Amino acid sequence: LVTIIRPFALGIITLCEDIVEPFQVVGSGIRHFRAISDELSDESAHTIRKEKLRYFAHAARQFLPLLLNALSYIMPVAAAAGFLYVVQSGLNQNFVLNVQVNGTSVGTVASEQVFESAREDVRSRITNAEAVMASTGAQVSDDSWDVTPTYTLESGSSTMTETEAADAILCASSDQIGEATAVYVDDSLRFVTTEGDHLRTYLESIKAPYVNAMDQNKRVSFVHDIKLVDGIYLLSSILDYNNVISTLNQGGGPTYYTAAAGDTVQTVVDNTGVSWDTLAALNPDLTGTDEVLDEGTAVMTGVSHPDMLQIKEVVRSTYTEPIPFDTQTSESDEYDFGKTVVVQEGADGTEEITRETTYIDGVESSSEVVNYKVLQNPTTQLIVKGTKLASGMVARIGSGTFVWPVPNYTYVSRWMSSYHKGADICAAYGTPSLHRIPARSLLP
């Protein structure tokens, strides 16, 4: 072990000596340099300066090899430290993508994903504008809006969102751009209008009759996901506000139930889920749930909103239900045969159920349980059946069942005489039958 360690130890000692020796020599030289004035105190100042210069030149010639030897160790270490510093500084830098359109920078985004999303948004807006122009009879060529943004990597911190990047790309692409509001239906761009605030007010007014701010268990929204996004859009894609409202309101109107022969008002209630009070309000001529309707009678059951503006109400309700208890039966020779003893009474538990019911334009469309919570666990009922016989012996209660041994029998013979103690089950020759199972006594 010493033979192995000794070369490494000598190498470390030599390394330390080579690094420390120049500093020791410099320290010794400085002390001697200062002592020259004391040693030549009787000499003139010119002589002292001359001696110091001579001593300094001699020391420099002696010190240079030592310095070069020390630098041969220090320089690689310094280079490695410098390399680590450069790498660490580069890793800590925040890099962003500089988005450019036709060679002009329009801003920076945080990642390639944001850039791709912004480019898709731009493509969607252009496609919508082309569709609007085509619907008016305008000629639209494939390269009418040829927008090809690019990006370069650079360091920075301030970035744009996806929508901001799309706005910036469009602004840099054409002067036929303006501020507007896009209407997305189920994530698909459907309209662009300059009356975004008015449209928001209109949509909220449709939901208002269903909204109860004090009811925390009710959520109201449109069946379709309608989002209004303010931004920069092509002027050619903007629709007149009245056209937007007209398109949103296509479809809808009163809904009717057509009575069949023998239907009553109660039949309408049962088949549609619409309450009697609602039917009476919509159909003043109805007299009651027992009223018999003529075949073909149209009963108004509600007023549906246009397809795009159907209202969805999600109502959350909470109620409790019992949890039935289980019964466990066991046998014991402590009780007489045939006696049944309840040693622990069973008790139902309780669970809290949370259910969400969805209504479309006031008519229930679905209902599902979203949560169960056990408030009290049920108590199992324990029953013991006695097996002790009067003779002192113990009976065992069988768990099997009886089966008919010949499924396709024709008849069963009667007991013909006192010597015939059994019953004959008769069937055609070759009829399959179950195997005979010998009877066993219940008593040992």
Tell me the CB-side half-sphere exposure of residue 263, using CA atoms within 13 A: 19
Q: Where are the beta strands (DSSP E) in 259-348?
A: 298-304, 311-323, 327-336, 340-344
Q: Which amino acid is at 183?
A: V
Q: Where are the beta strands (DSSP E) in 345-393?
A: 349-360, 363-376, 381-388
The answer to whether 194 and 238 have CB atoms below 8 angstroms apart is yes
Is-same-fold flag (253-304; 312-386)?
A: no
- Domain spanning 312-386: CATH superfamily: Resuscitation-promoting factor rpfb. (2.20.230.10)
Hey, where are the domains in the chain? 2-92, 98-248, 253-304, 312-386
> Rg of the chain's alpha carbons, rounded to an integer?
49
What pLDDT score was predicted for residue 138?
A: 53
**16: number of Cβ within 10 Å:** 11
CA–CA gap between residue 73 and residue 77 (Å, rounded):
7
What pLDDT score was predicted for residue 347?
A: 96
- Type and span of the H or E element at 357: strand 349-360
* The pTM of the whole model exceeds 0.85: no
Write the DSSP symbol of residue 233: E
393 phi and psi, to 5 degrees? -80, 165
pLDDT 10s digit of each residue in the chain, 444 long? 677 787 777 777 876 776 676 667 667 777 777 777 777 777 777 777 787 787 777 776 766 676 666 667 677 778 888 888 877 776 677 888 999 988 889 899 989 999 999 988 888 877 776 666 565 455 656 555 667 888 888 887 788 998 889 888 878 876 667 778 888 888 888 888 999 999 999 999 988 888 888 899 999 999 999 999 887 777 777 888 888 888 888 877 778 899 999 999 999 999 888 888 888 888 888 889 999 999 999 998 877 678 888 899 999 999 999 999 999 999 988 888 888 999 999 999 999 999 999 998 888 889 999 999 999 999 999 999 988 876 666 556 566 667 777 777 777 776 666 666 677 788 887 777 765 555 444 444
CA–CA gap between residue 395 and residue 388 (Å, rounded):
6
Classify domain 253-304 at the CATH topology level: Membrane-bound Lytic Murein Transglycosylase D; Chain A (3.10.350)
Tell me the CB-side half-sphere exposure of residue 88, using CA atoms within 13 A: 6
**Secondary structure of residue 314 in the 3-state scheme:** strand
Q: Which amino acid is at 354?
A: T
